[in-house]
């Protein structure tokens, strides 16, 4: 047998058992919070809340749906650029995210939303957003191994990824009390190094056996632009979704909007400058244009100021595009990290930059710029952290970045070793990047002619193997 | 002549006459309501409304736009999976919905938004959402007859469908006082049986003459995923769009989010389990993953609890996928119902399940769980229904489901008979599922080479007929 | 050398220098406004604002994101209809818009958001929406020259276009005090005549050398429908995004929803009626269905009444479709205006109609219909304009339309002459509408077979030149 990809039993078993576990755990642990429970009507009266419009739902639902689109359409379609892996890109992205959000509600719930009076996790709209965020980390990691792993491996990656995420997030946000509204550290740095480490452990020396499929065709590049654009457009919602009500969300959206705009111009400039004939490369346009959104994540709700955001975007467009041109080949040849989507350029480097920008801008915060109340509100210098000052906060921000890196790399190596076990049905080297391995293709005999462009994946694939 | 599809006069005539009728009827009947009229500024003062943000527009507009995307992009692109019927899928969906929303504003307006002081229908954002909902019923029905009817027939289906919808909706929601926030009964059950009954009456014994076109190609399956994902992502908005302000909308979104996540896992499991080689089938991923959203529609604003939603989604993924594998062939061979998109599996069965779940969860509602005020608010036990109790409500919910079924089946048979008249320009059996019948294709001579993949629909079609 | 399209130095130079200029100008001029600054918390207290939900962010952010989607996905994908210019359509649209929104924030800021106390532009969510609007004017103009200009030319067009836009907008909205919520005059009329005038100056007598690429293929038409539908669905958000809080936004959304629905029916009717065989033409469905949204722009927040909106949409569907059938060929042959996307039919004529509808409906406004307060609020008859009456307002609206026309035509001729200089790297006549000129295509050797449908743009293009 050429490949050991028969997932007939393992995939259904994992899906059923894990979904049943979710039901049991939700039954034991998860309830509505006071804003999504029918007791809201009583809660409102008791707390003198004048209108239903002050339910957190109305502050966050529009951003939530934008984030939701980023997770399912954004990440899913961004990965459809491969000529014969669009089903796997969008389909496995769908599967992984649907499982991940459930597990994330539990894991994050235990750490952040546990009601100690009754031992229940109380969920509302903010939990849904955070679950989507948590899954984003795993989908970033998927980008590194796209086309080289089985759906069962992806589910395992997600199970561990969400778990690791919830712990590092707790350490960074709660223990260190670092701020990370858009998740440059918690989501992007962690997710990217998690995926790169897994890819390093799963290195395939003979991957060039399927290199004829490791590229795009005209229409697959257009499909990928759907992903790019929805990510790009909705990134202001991503970075502002869980920011503070009022000016916090408002400012995070503005900063992200500006950083992303700036990135587009420097990405185009670099793409043209470094190609022999001055032509643009779709890979850069699809990916590097997003780097500014990643890098402005941590500082999005800070008083980064509009030109500060533009500067962050400016450099990230340059660095990310250079990454695709010079660093990705280096990673593959020297460090033996095969990174299908180039997440090192889109998430890892910009994520680290974002963490650093966050640390610097936190350390530089002053009462003059923020106002006394504004400073306290923005950094939550209250309760046990009432005495913290901006310079100290900067140090904790930097510590948070280190935690994200350690969890990403350490967790990735561990999970990579687990995924190296020969039981997961991953494709052989010559079957990578090929939908035919995991997808039944609905071909009809009437159209099966040689060179027929409209034929289904089964036959194109067969054709290639001749 | 091979087909009687010349719609040169009938289609323009129907479009013009009906649109003119809409203008006249709107002129006579439709006005702005107090929240969309310039008198809002006076209304606010008179009613001590402290802020413009309490205008219903701000409670519902984000959900409205999500629903709008589901209707036009969601339904439209979901049906693009056929290899040569993408124009018809997305284009006729567009036409039908654009007509239907106007007619729905009138029909639903007469039943629900008539101001008896002046005999005018007063519309606001909630009417727009309800019009979109009403059209959803007709678009579901379109799924059963996709590729086999003319645009004129679709418009006739929509005219009658919207009319029937408004009546059954009035009976279910107002007379029986059943609750159906997400329309499991009113929209999905009605729409699906309406479409299946029409398809049954229009049965084509020789449809296999065009079976070479009754399937997908690689890129058409990717296009269809655009529809799937926008439906999936925005379904929480669909089920919460007209729910009660505050906790009602909040809870409906959470329940739907969870049910849909659960459905994805069991759909994948079943798809893999029941294919010989364990491969996944795009048909299931595109459709069955949505069944949980349908089935949680009625109970979405109830205290179904998070694990309850997961359970509903769990079973619907299984049932819907089994429907595609076993029930669709049975329907076609034994019951003579040709269901192009498998709406029986995506809307009919999950819709009925949704009605049943709604009835049970209403009957099981208690003051302990809901709170006294919460129970009254959620089920609107006020006015003439002040004395109704949950167990009785459960019975009325079940009655509502029966009404939806009767209207769907009865109305569908009647409309099917109307559409059987040989005057509507429907395609011959050998021309079904073919865009060339109704669409001018903008081919350019320069590209017309044999085997040219980039050729337009005219020539692929011609090629096939050789 | 066949073409002078080497943009290796000019494109990076323009991108870098302009982006650096943006950073410097933003550093000098742009700051957060009181609702996006950390001082919001103080501002709230001082102004007795009871809740964060009254931050303008929550009134406008959902509409902003819809508008953002229209700009990047809507305009971008609408232009992907060409068989070999999808990268250019969606990619250059992306580049141009990303630059334009930055320059627009500055230009519009100086005219509208300058804080005279400190000489800074103070930005918030409304500025982001207006920047997107401003860019829409330039993207409309791009439609006329699609496939015939270099990205550097597009950037130059945008630089001048945004500048002209800001001035005409200031004259129309501030000096004349005309109302134009949805920008029929300010955006569509200006943008369309700007683009048409440029195209007139850049007339290419030998453009038929690349006419084999000036058309669509099956899948490119489906991609274009993504653009059409997102524009169509979100147009109510476009026209209401900067309308007055409360009833203003509410009514603008309703009017636009209705006008667009009506347009779809008459577009379909005309498309079928004027094709020999009664078939529909995708060009009409993709474009003319949007004309109602353009034409209802100015009057969207007026008491146009629902049937008034339907009437506007009715006629615009007819006129726009007739434009594609009769007027576009006339424009090209007689007036020497080559209009790739037919913006004359989608934006110019409907924009002018919108201006006229706005003038008439403003002139016809009465206290009876609007209420005293409503009239004052809707037309802002306050401050220096406190004594203006509706009939006079109608006159100023008409004057506004003339200003938009003059700026569009005059500005377009000037910019066209600038773009005629032989330094911009525009494609030769035989290389128009071809992505290969400006895009590196990520082809892999494994797939380069004759007639291979999955090959990349490089090879298709080469094939065509044989």
Q: Report chain A's mean pLDDT, rounded to a whole number.
A: 92
- pLDDT for C441 equals 73
Shared-domain flag, residues B341 and B233: yes
- Evaluate whether residue B56 is within a structural domain: no
Number of domains chain A is built from: 1
- pLDDT for C95 equals 98
* B431 at interface of C, judged by CB pairs closer than 8 A: no
Per the CB < 8 Å rule, is C66 touching B68? no
- pLDDT for B7 equals 79
Residue A16 Cα, gap to closest chain C Cα (Å): 35
* A222 at interface of C, judged by CB pairs closer than 8 A: yes
Please give the Cα distance from A254 to C125 (Å, whole number).
Answer: 7
DSSP string, B168-179: HHIIIIIIS---
Shared-domain flag, residues B148 and B297: yes
- Evaluate whether residue C244 is within a structural domain: yes
* A83 at interface of C, judged by CB pairs closer than 8 A: yes
Q: B278 to chain A: nearest residue by CA? A: A8
Over 70: is that where the pLDDT of A17 sits? yes
- Evaluate whether residue A431 is within a structural domain: yes
The CATH number for A355's domain is 1.10.3430.10
Range of lowest pLDDT (A114-118, A267-271, A274-278): A274-278
pLDDT along chain B (466 residues), means of 10: 65 96 98 96 93 96 98 98 96 98 98 95 97 98 96 97 98 97 97 98 95 93 97 98 96 98 98 91 97 97 97 98 95 94 97 98 96 94 94 97 98 97 90 93 41 39 28
- Evaluate whether residue A340 is within a structural domain: yes
Determine the average pLDDT of the residues in A321-328.
Answer: 96
Per the CB < 8 Å rule, is A261 touching C102? yes
What is the token pair recorded at C262?
A: 């009506």
Mutation choice for B interface testing from A7, A36, A96, A150 by most B CBs within 10 A: A36
Please give the Cα distance from A257 to C102 (Å, whole number).
Answer: 10
- Vertex B178, ends B175 and B181: CA angle to 5°? 125
| A38 vs B54, B247, B311: nearest CB | B247
- pLDDT for C5 equals 61
Please give the Cα distance from A432 to A214 (Å, whole number).
Answer: 8
What does the pLDDT look like over C381-416, one tens digit per residue?
999 999 999 999 999 999 999 999 999 999 999 999
The question of ipTM being above 0.90 is answered as yes
Per the CB < 8 Å rule, is B58 touching A58? yes
- Evaluate whether residue C450 is within a structural domain: no
Determine the average pLDDT of the residues in C133-142.
Answer: 98
Using DSSP's 3-state secondary structure scheme, residue C304 falls into coil
CB A106 within 8 A of CB A99: no
| B265 vs A91, A99, A455: nearest CB | A99
Nearest CA among C257, C263, C294 for reference residue C404: C294
Shared-domain flag, residues B400 and B460: no
Q: C314 to chain B: nearest residue by CA? A: B19
CA separation (Å) from C242 to C125, C135, C239? 10, 15, 8
Subunits adjacent to chain A (3 or more Cβ pairs under 8 Å): B, C
Who's near C186: CB < 8 A, 6+ residues apart? Answer: C133, C137, C165, C168, C169, C172, C173, C180, C400, C404
- pLDDT for B461 equals 33
How far from the centroid of its chain's Cα atoms is residue C68's Cα?
11
**Sorting pLDDT into bands at 50, 70 and 90, what band is C446?**
very low
* B456 at interface of C, judged by CB pairs closer than 8 A: yes
Range of lowest pLDDT (B135-144, C252-261, C334-343, C433-442): C433-442
CB B115 within 8 A of CB B121: yes
* A99 at interface of B, judged by CB pairs closer than 8 A: yes
- CA C420, C425, C430, C435 torsion-angle sign: negative
Number of B:C CB contacts under 8 A? 256
* C303 at interface of B, judged by CB pairs closer than 8 A: yes
What does the pLDDT look like over A335-365, one tens digit per residue?
999 999 999 999 999 999 999 999 999 999 9
Subunits adjacent to chain B (3 or more Cβ pairs under 8 Å): A, C
CA separation (Å) from C185 to C180, C351, C391? 7, 6, 19
Please give the Cα distance from B260 to B233 (Å, whole number).
Answer: 9
The gap between the terminal CA atoms of chain C, to the nearest Å, is: 17
Domain holding B137, by residue range, is 18-39+69-433
Shared-domain flag, residues B406 and B458: no
Mutation choice for B interface testing from A38, A53, A224 by most B CBs within 10 A: A38
Mutation choice for A interface testing from C6, C16, C41 by most A CBs within 10 A: C41
* B54 at interface of A, judged by CB pairs closer than 8 A: yes
Shared-domain flag, residues B141 and B241: yes
Chain C positions touching A375 (Cβ under 8 A) are 38
- pLDDT for C4 equals 52
Shared-domain flag, residues B394 and B445: no
Give the rounded percent of residues in chain C with a pLDDT score beyond 90: 90
* Site of tokens 């409102």: A44
- Evaluate whether residue B53 is within a structural domain: no
What is the token pair recorded at C185?
A: 């005059």
DSSP string, B254-309: HHHHHHHHHHHHHHHHHHHHTSTTS-EEHHHHHHGGGHHHHHTTTTTTS---HHHH
CB A336 within 8 A of CB A163: no
CA dihedral of residues C85, C88, C94, C99 (deg, nearest 10): -150
Over 60: is that where the pLDDT of C210 sits? yes
- Evaluate whether residue A46 is within a structural domain: no
- pLDDT for B259 equals 98
Chain C positions touching B65 (Cβ under 8 A) are 62, 66, 233-234, 236-237
CA separation (Å) from A146 to A187, A196, A439, B269? 18, 11, 15, 21
Q: Which residues of A412-434 are buried (b: 16+ CB within 10 A; e: fewer)?
A: bebbbeebeeeebbbbbbbbbbb
- pLDDT for B287 equals 97
* B68 at interface of C, judged by CB pairs closer than 8 A: yes
The gap between the terminal CA atoms of chain B, to the nearest Å, is: 17
- Evaluate whether residue A458 is within a structural domain: no
More confident residue, A461 or A199: A199
Per the CB < 8 Å rule, is C52 touching A453? no
What does the pLDDT look like over A157-196, one tens digit per residue?
999 999 999 999 999 999 999 999 999 999 999 999 999 9
DSSP string, C16-59: HHHHHHHHHHHHHHEEE-TTTSTTHHHHHHHTT---GGGSHHHH
Nearest CA among A237, A282, A271, A186 for reference residue A65: A237
Helix (H) or strand (E) run with residue A114 in it: strand A114-115
* B451 at interface of A, judged by CB pairs closer than 8 A: yes
* C326 at interface of B, judged by CB pairs closer than 8 A: no
Chain C positions touching B58 (Cβ under 8 A) are 58-59
Give the rounded percent of residues in chain A with a pLDDT score beyond 90: 90
CB A294 within 8 A of CB A316: yes
Over 50: is that where the pLDDT of C226 sits? yes
* B446 at interface of C, judged by CB pairs closer than 8 A: yes
Q: C27 to chain A: nearest residue by CA? A: A307
């Amino acid at each position: 047998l050429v490949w050991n990809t028969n997932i007939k039993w393992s995939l259904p078993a994992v899906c059923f058992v894990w979904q049943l576990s979710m039901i049991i755990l939700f039954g034991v642990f998860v309830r509505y919070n006071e804003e999504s429970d029918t007791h809201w009507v009583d809660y409102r009266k008791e707390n003198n809340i004048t209108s239903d419009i002050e339910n957190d739902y109305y502050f966050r639902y529009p951003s939530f749906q934008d984030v939701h689109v980023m997770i399912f359409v954004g990440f899913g379609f961004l990965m459809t650029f491969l000529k014969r892996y669009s089903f796997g890109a969008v389909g496995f992205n769908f599967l992984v995210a649907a499982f991940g959000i459930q597990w994330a509600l539990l894991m994050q719930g235990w750490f952040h939303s546990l009601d100690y009076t009754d031992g229940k996790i109380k969920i509302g709209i903010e939990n849904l957003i955070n679950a989507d965020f948590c899954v984003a980390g795993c989908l970033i990691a998927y980008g590194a191994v796209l086309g080289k792993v089985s759906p069962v491996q992806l589910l395992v990656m997600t199970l561990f990824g969400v778990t690791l995420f919830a712990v590092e997030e707790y350490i960074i946000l709660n223990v260190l009390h670092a701020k990370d509204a858009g998740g440059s550290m918690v989501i992007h740095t962690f997710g990217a190094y998690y995926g790169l480490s897994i890819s390093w452990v799963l290195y395939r020396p003979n991957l060039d056996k399927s290199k004829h499929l490791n590229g795009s065709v005209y229409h697959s590049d257009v499909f990928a632009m759907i992903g790019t654009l929805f990510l790009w457009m909705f990134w202001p919602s991503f970075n502002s979704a869980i920011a503070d009500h009022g000016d916090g969300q408002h400012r995070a959206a503005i900063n992200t909007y500006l950083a992303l705009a700036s990135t587009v111009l420097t990405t185009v400039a670099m793409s043209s400058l470094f190609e022999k004939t001055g032509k643009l490369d779709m890979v850069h346009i699809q990916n590097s244009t997003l780097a500014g959104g990643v890098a402005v994540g941590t500082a999005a709700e800070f008083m980064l100021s509009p030109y500060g955001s533009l500067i962050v975007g400016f450099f990230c467009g340059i660095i990310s595009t250079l990454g695709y041109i010079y660093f990705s080949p280096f990673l593959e040849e020297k460090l033996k990290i095969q990174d299908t989507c180039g997440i090192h350029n889109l998430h890892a480097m910009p994520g680290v930059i974002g963490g650093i920008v966050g640390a610097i801008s936190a350390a530089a915060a002053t009462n003059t710029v923020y106002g006394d109340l504004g400073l306290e509100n923005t950094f939550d210098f209250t309760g046990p952290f009432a005495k913290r000052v901006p310079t100290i906060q900067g140090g904790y921000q930097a510590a948070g970045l280190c935690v994200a890196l350690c969890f990403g790399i350490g967790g990735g190596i561990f999970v990579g070793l687990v995924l190296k076990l020969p039981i997961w049905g991953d494709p052989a080297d010559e079957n990578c990047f090929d939908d035919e391995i995991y997808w039944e293709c609905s071909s009809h005999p009437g159209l099966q002619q040689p060179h027929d462009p409209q034929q289904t994946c089964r036959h194109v694939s067969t054709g290639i193997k001749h």
